[in-house]
């Protein structure tokens, strides 16, 4: 099974959204089946086979998540991030401001689903392979 240290090493290579597909490929190879990232404080739960779980603790002080979702603004800013135009903390702030509470990455489906504060799935994207 994978370790927190392996996850941190893989994540350290991500400098922008443009690096994301390589990161996904690397952690999938480690045995990660899916993971959830929480915008409120940056903690992440990585899951593997047989309910294996590695938790990454909070990365920053809690931030407020907007109660309403602005999917048009989020989609536009997400595209810019994926093109490498913003860093991770800028992306996080934008998620909070547009009402995104978390995202879930599925290695099996190779998708990234974004959820609002009510737990509703607001956008699903395919991950480039």
pLDDT tens readout for residues 79-93? 998 887 888 899 999
Whether the pLDDT of residue 128 is over 80: the answer is: no
- Predicted TM-score (pTM) of the model is 0.87
Q: Tell me the C-alpha distance between 16 and 90, whole Å.
A: 10
How many domains are contained in the chain?
Answer: 1
> Residue 104's domain spans which residues?
4-126
Whether pLDDT at 27 is above 70: yes
Is residue 15's pLDDT more than 90?
no
Instruction: Pick the more confident residue, 20 or 76.
Output: 76
Query: What share of residues in the chain are helix, strand, coil (percent, to 5)?
Result: 35, 25, 40
Residue 25's domain is classified under what CATH number?
3.30.1810.10
Q: Which two tokens stand for residue 119?
A: 């737990």
Distance of CA 3 to the CA centre of its chain: 18
Q: Does residue 17 have a pLDDT over 70?
A: no
- Per-residue pLDDT reduced to its tens digit, 100-112: 999 999 999 999 9
């Amino acid at each position: 099974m994978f370790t927190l240290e392996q996850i941190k090493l893989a994540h350290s290579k991500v400098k922008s959204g443009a690096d994301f597909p390589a990161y996904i490929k690397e952690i999938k190879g480690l045995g990660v089946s899916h993971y959830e990232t929480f915008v409120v404080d940056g903690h992440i739960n990585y899951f593997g086979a047989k309910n294996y779980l590695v938790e990454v603790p909070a990365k920053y002080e809690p931030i407020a998540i907007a109660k309403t979702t602005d999917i048009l603004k989020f989609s536009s800013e997400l595209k810019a991030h994926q093109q490498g135009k913003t860093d991770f903390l800028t992306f996080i702030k934008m998620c909070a401001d547009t009402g995104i509470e978390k995202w879930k990455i599925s290695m099996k489906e190779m998708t990234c689903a974004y959820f609002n504060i009510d737990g509703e799935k607001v956008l699903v994207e395919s991950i480039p392979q």
